[in-house]
Structure 1
Amino acid sequence: QENAELKEQLAQLRRESEEARAKLAELDLEVQQKTNRLAEVELRLKDSLAERAEEEERLSRRLRDSQETIASLKSQPQQIKYIIKTVEVESAKTKQALCESQSRNQYLQEQVGMQRQGVKGVEQQLQSSQKTAAQLRAQIMMYEAELERAHGQMLEEMQAMEEEKNRAIEEAFSRAQVEMKAVHENLAGVRTNLLTLQPALRTLTHDYNSLKRQVRDFPLLLQEALRGARAEISQAIEEVHSTNRELLRKYRRELQLRKKCHNELVRLKGNIRVFGRVRPITKEDGEGPEAANAVTFDADDDAILHLLHKGKQVSFELDKVFPPQASQEEVFQEVQALVTSCIDGYNVCIFAYGQTGAGKTYTMEVNLPRFASFFFLLLFSEVRGKAADWDYAISVSAAEIYNEALRDLLGKEPQEKLEIKLCPDGSGQLYVPGLTEFRVQSVEDINKVFEFGHINRATECTNLNEHSSRSHALLIVTVRGLDRSTGLR
C-alpha cells in the first residue's frame, strides 16, 4: 500500500513537472508570437517611411520642376517684349509673325497661370504631405515607444518565468529526490515482503489449482448428489404419505373408539340423569326452630335424600345430591362430559326444574361464576384443541316459553309467537322457523347475547317473579363441525 502511495505521488510530481514544462512552452510560444508581431510592425513602419520618403522626393522633384518652369516662363516674356520692341522697327512682313507671337505669348501666359495654380495645388499637397509625414513620424515614435515598453515588459516576464521555471524545476527535483528515496526504501521492503510471500503464493497456487479441479468436477458431483437427494426425498415423501395414511386410519379408528367409549360411559351413567341440589335456609324461611331444614342427607351414600313429611321420613334416590355448601364447580364436574358429547354431534340438554324460590335462576344465571360459563369455557377450549383438523361454527339463540307460547328473545319483535315444527330432512328432530341466531367466537359473545335476551324477557312483565314462575327461558347453542381430512360433518 505504501509503495502504491509513493508511486502515485511520483506520478503526481511528474504530472506537475509536465504541466510546468507545457506552461513554459506556451510562454515561449507567446513571446515568439509577440516578437514576430513586433518585427512585422517594424517592417510595415519601414515600408511606410520608405513610401513617404519616395513621395516627398517625388513631390520635391515636381516642386523643383515647377519652380524651374515658372522661372523659365518669367524670363521668356521679357525676351518676347524685347523682340516685340525690336520687331516694331522692322518691316511689315514681320507683322504677321508678330501677331502670331502675341497669340503664343497670350497662350504661354495662360499656361503660366495654369502652372501657377498647379504649383499652388502642389504646394498645398506638399504641406498636407508634410503634415501627414509629421503625424506618421509621431505615430512611429509612439509605436517605437510602445514596442520598447512591450519589449521591456516581455523581457521582464521572460526573466520572471525563467526564474519561476527554474525554481519549480528545482522544487520538483528536490521533492522527486526525496520521494524517490522513499520509494526505493519501500521497494526494498516490498522485495523483502515478496520473498516472504513466495511460499504462501505457491501454496495459494496449489490450492487454486485444486479448487479449479473441484469446480470442474462439481457439476457431475452436483448432478449425482441431486439424483441421490431426489431419490431420498421421493422415498421419504412416499414413506410420509404411507405413514400419514396409516396415522389417519388409526386416528379415525381411535376417534370412533373414543366416541364409542364416551357414549358407553354416558349410557352407563344414564342418558337421563337427575341431580338434586339443596339450597341453604334463607330469611324468607323464617327464624328459630321452625326454620329447621326439612331435608337430611345420608352420610354413606351421596345419592340418597331424606325428606321429613307429616312427621314421617321419606327417602328419595337420585343420581347425586348436592348439599347447600356445594360449589358451582362441583355441580359442573358431574355434567362436563356432555360437552364432549355435544362436540361429537349428539344433542345435549341441561335444564333446572323446581318450584318457585328453589334456586333455579340462582344456579343457572345469577350465581357467579354462572354454571353455563363453565360449559362454554370448556366448549371453546375443546374447539380450539381440534382447530388443526376441524372447522367449527358456534351460534346462539334465546327463546322463552310462556303460557304455552314460544317467543324469540333476540328478534326484532319479541311478542311475535313462533311455532315448533319437525325438520323436513326426515331426521325427526324439531326446529323453530324464523328463530334468530347469532354467530359467537368467545364466552364474552355468549354472555352479551344472554344479557340482551334477559333484558327483552324482563321488560315484558312488571312482576318479574310472577312472570318467571310461569315461563321457561331457553338458551340454544348450535355447534356445527367439519372434518377437513374426511369431509365429515
Structure 2
Amino acid sequence: AQRPFPVIQKVVASMAHLQEEKLRLQEELLALQEKLAARESEEIAASVQLRGQVENLKANLREQAQEIGRLRSEMGGTDAEKHRDLLAAENERLRQEMKAREGELRELRRQQAACRDCTHLQENAGLQERLCQLQREAEEARAKLAELELEVQQKTNRLAEVELRLKDSLAERAQEEERLSRRLRDSQETIASLRAQPQQIKYIIKTVEVESAKAKQALCESQSRNQYLQEQVGMQRQVLKEMEQQLQSSQKTAAQLRAQIAMYETELERAHGQMLEEMQAMEDEKNRAIEEAFSRAQVEMKAVHENLAGVRTNLLTLQPALRTLTHDYNSLKRQVRDFPLLLQETLRSARAEIGQAIEEVNSTNRELLRKYRRELQLRKKCHNELVRLKGNIRVFGRVRPITKEDGEGPEAVSAVTFDADDDAVLHLLHKGKQVSFELDKVFPPQASQEEVFQEVQALVTSCIDGYNVCIFAYGQTGAGKTYTMEGTSANPGINQRALQLLFSEVRSKAADWDYAISVSVAEIYNEALRDLLGKEPQEKLEIKLCPDGSGQLYVPGLTEFSVQSVEDINKVRH
C-alpha cells in the first residue's frame, strides 16, 4: 500500500510556505511604508522645486525689469503707463503658472493614490490566489486520507476472510482426525475379538489384520496431512499477525494524519484571519498616510501662496533698484564691447614672450647637447687611455685561505708569502726553494669579492664602448676559481657583479642609446667545440673569421638568447 509520508511532507511544506508568504507580506508592508516615505520625500522635493520655480520667477522678473529698463534707455524716454501694463501682464502670467503648478501637484497626488490602490489590489488578489491554493492542497490531503482509510478497510476485510478460511480448515482437520481415530478404534476392537475366537477363524483374523494395516497406513497419511495443515495454520497465523500489525500501524498513521490535518486547518484559518487583519491595518495605514500627505501639501501650498504675495511686494520695492541695475548693465556692456580688442593685444604680447622664451630654451638645449657629446667623447678617450696604460692583458693572483689540506692548528703551513711593501709580488716555497712572481696585483686571503671586482670593473665600461673583453680564472682544482668568478647568492663573484654593472650602465644610457644584449655559451674541450645552450650538444661547430674583413672571430650556428636583465641570463644558464 502507498505510504502516507509524502502527503504529510507536502502538507508540512505547504505550511512552511504559508509562513514564508506571511514573512513576505510583512516585508512588502515595510516596502510600502518605505515607498510612502519616498513619496513624502518626493512631495517635499516638489515643494522645494516650487520654491525654486518661484525664485526663478523672481529672477525672470528681475530680468524682465532689466530688459524693460534697457528698452527704455534705447527708446530714449520713460513711460509709466507702459511699465505698469508690463508689470500687470507679468503678474498675470505668474498667477497662471502658479495655478498650473497646483494642478500638477493635484495630478501627482491622484496618480500616487491610484498607484497605491492598484498595488494593494494586486497584493490582495495574490493573497486570495495563495489561499485558494492552500485550500486545494488541504482537499488533496483529505482525499489521500480517504484513500488510505479505504485501503485499511480492504485489508481488514481480507484479514476477516483469511480468519474464516483458517477456521474452516481447522474444523475440517478436527473432523478428519475424529474419523480416523474412530476407524482405528473399530479396527483394534475387531482384531481383539477375532483373536479370542477359535483356530478355524484364523483366515478371518489375517484378513482383518490386512485391513488393519491399511487403516494404519491411512492413519499415517492422515497424520502427515495433519502436520501439513498445522504448518499452514502456523503460516496463516504469522500472516494474520503481520496484517494485524500493519492494520495497527495504518490506523495509527491515519489518526496522526487526522490530527495533523486538523492542526493545519486551524493554522490555516488563523493565518487567514491574521492576513485579513494585516491587510486591513495596511489599508488603514495607507489612508492615514494619504491624509497626512494631503494635509502637509495643503500647508505647503498655503506657504507658497504667502511666498507669492511676498514676491509681489518685493517686486514693487525692487523697482527703484532696476534703474541702477540698468545703468550698471549698460556700463558692463560697453566694457564687454571693448574687451576683445584688449584680449587680442594681450594675446599678441604673450605669444611674442612665449616665442622668445622657447627660442632661448632651444638655444640652451643645443649648447648643452654639444657639451654633453664633447664630454662623452672625452670620457671615452680617457677611459680607454686608462685601460691602455694598465695594459691590455692583466694578470692578477688571488691566494685562498688555508684549508684542511694545508694542515690544522699551529701545524698549518701556507706555501705562499707576500711582500708587505709591494702588493704585486708573490713568494712561493717549492721543493725547499723560494720562487718569486711579479704580477699586476696580488689579493691576500682576506680580500673581499668587492675588492677583486673593483680591479676589473673598468673592463665592463670598455665592453659598452665596443671593445672585446675577456675575464677568466685559471688554477688547479680547489684553488677557488668558481668562488672568484661565480661566488654565492649572498656574496656574488665577478660574473654576477659585472652583469649587474653592465645592465645598470645600459639603463642609465637608455635615453640616448639603444642596446641589444645576447648570450651564448661555448666549450672547447679536447679540441672539440660544443654549444652548451643548443638542443644538440654533440653537434660539431667551427671557429671562423667574420666575412666583413674586421678580423673578428665567430662561430656559425652558435645558439644565442636575447636578454633584458641579470635574471634572464641566470635563467638561460640554468
What TM-score does the superposition give when structure 2 sets the normalisation length?
A: 0.42
- Could you report, residue by residue, the CA deviation over 1:190-236 in whole angstroms, capped at 9, with x for unpaired residues? 47756886787677656544443343233323332333333333333
CA contact (8 A) 1:397 1:438 kept: yes
SS of residue in 2 equivalent to 1:177: helix
SS of residue in 2 equivalent to 1:276: strand
Report the CA distance shift for 1:128/1:166 in structure 2 as closer, same or farther (over 3 A). Answer: same
CA contact (8 A) 2:529 2:541 kept: yes
Structure 2: stretches of 5+ with no match in the other structure: 1-121, 487-500
CA contact (8 A) 2:159 2:240 kept: no
Structure 1: stretches of 5+ with no match in the other structure: 366-377, 449-488
CA contact (8 A) 1:395 1:440 kept: yes
2:294 & 2:450 partners in 1: Cα distance?
104
Identity %: 93
Report the CA distance shift for 1:46/1:171 in structure 2 as closer, same or farther (over 3 A). Answer: farther
Aligned-residue offset at 1:137: 70
- Could you report, residue by residue, the CA deviation over 1:434-460 in whole angstroms, capped at 9, with x for unpaired residues? 111100111111112xxxxxxxxxxxx
- Could you report, residue by residue, the CA deviation over 1:126-175 in whole angstroms, capped at 9, with x for unpaired residues? 99999999999999999999999999999999999999999999999999
SS of residue in 2 equivalent to 1:425: coil
Report the CA distance shift for 1:48/1:128 in structure 2 as closer, same or farther (over 3 A). Answer: farther
**1:412 paired residue among 531, 535, 545:** 535
Aligned counterparts, 1:66-465, within 5 A: 186=307, 189-190=310-311, 208-287=329-408, 291-365=412-486, 378-448=501-571
SS of residue in 2 equivalent to 1:148: helix
Aligned-residue offset at 1:36: 85
Higher mean C-alpha displacement, 110-119 vs 90-99 = 90-99
Aligned-residue offset at 1:256: 0.1
Report the CA distance shift for 1:12/1:227 in structure 2 as closer, same or farther (over 3 A). Answer: farther
Residue 33 of structure 2: aligned partner = none
CA contact (8 A) 1:20 1:168 kept: no
- Could you report, residue by residue, the CA deviation over 1:290-325 in whole angstroms, capped at 9, with x for unpaired residues? 751110112222222111223232222222111112
Residue 25 of structure 1: aligned partner = 146
Report the CA distance shift for 1:168/1:123 in structure 2 as closer, same or farther (over 3 A). Answer: same
Report the CA distance shift for 1:221/1:54 in structure 2 as closer, same or farther (over 3 A). Answer: farther
Higher mean C-alpha displacement, 323-332 vs 43-52 = 43-52
Higher mean C-alpha displacement, 94-103 vs 378-387 = 94-103
Aligned-residue offset at 1:360: 1.4
What TM-score does the superposition give when structure 1 sets the normalisation length?
A: 0.48
Report the CA distance shift for 1:380/1:5 in structure 2 as closer, same or farther (over 3 A). Answer: same
Report the CA distance shift for 1:289/1:13 in structure 2 as closer, same or farther (over 3 A). Answer: closer
Aligned-residue offset at 1:349: 1.2
2:329 & 2:461 partners in 1: Cα distance?
70
Aligned-residue offset at 1:266: 1.8
Report the CA distance shift for 1:409/1:6 in structure 2 as closer, same or farther (over 3 A). Answer: closer
CA contact (8 A) 1:304 1:321 kept: yes
- Could you report, residue by residue, the CA deviation over 1:2-61 in whole angstroms, capped at 9, with x for unpaired residues? 999999999999999999999999999999999999999999999999999999999999
- Could you report, residue by residue, the CA deviation over 1:81-133 in whole angstroms, capped at 9, with x for unpaired residues? 99999999999999999999999999999999999999999999999999999
CA contact (8 A) 2:194 2:205 kept: no
SS of residue in 2 equivalent to 1:279: coil
1:338 & 1:33 partners in 2: Cα distance?
111
Calculate the aligned-residue CA RMSD, in Å.
28.6
Higher mean C-alpha displacement, 83-92 vs 340-349 = 83-92
Higher mean C-alpha displacement, 331-340 vs 67-76 = 67-76
Aligned-residue offset at 1:262: 1.1
Report the CA distance shift for 1:355/1:245 in structure 2 as closer, same or farther (over 3 A). Answer: same
2:129 & 2:271 partners in 1: Cα distance?
42
Report the CA distance shift for 1:296/1:5 in structure 2 as closer, same or farther (over 3 A). Answer: same
How many residue pairs end up in the alignment?
437
1:289 & 1:160 partners in 2: Cα distance?
106
Larger-gyration structure (1/2): 1
Report the CA distance shift for 1:338/1:98 in structure 2 as closer, same or farther (over 3 A). Answer: closer
Report the CA distance shift for 1:180/1:307 in structure 2 as closer, same or farther (over 3 A). Answer: closer
Higher mean C-alpha displacement, 57-66 vs 402-411 = 57-66
CA contact (8 A) 1:24 1:161 kept: no
Structure having the larger proportion of residues in helix: 2
CA contact (8 A) 2:148 2:254 kept: no
Higher mean C-alpha displacement, 432-441 vs 322-331 = 322-331
Report the CA distance shift for 1:84/1:396 in structure 2 as closer, same or farther (over 3 A). Answer: closer
1:160 & 1:263 partners in 2: Cα distance?
100
1:288 & 1:125 partners in 2: Cα distance?
100
Higher mean C-alpha displacement, 251-260 vs 315-324 = 315-324
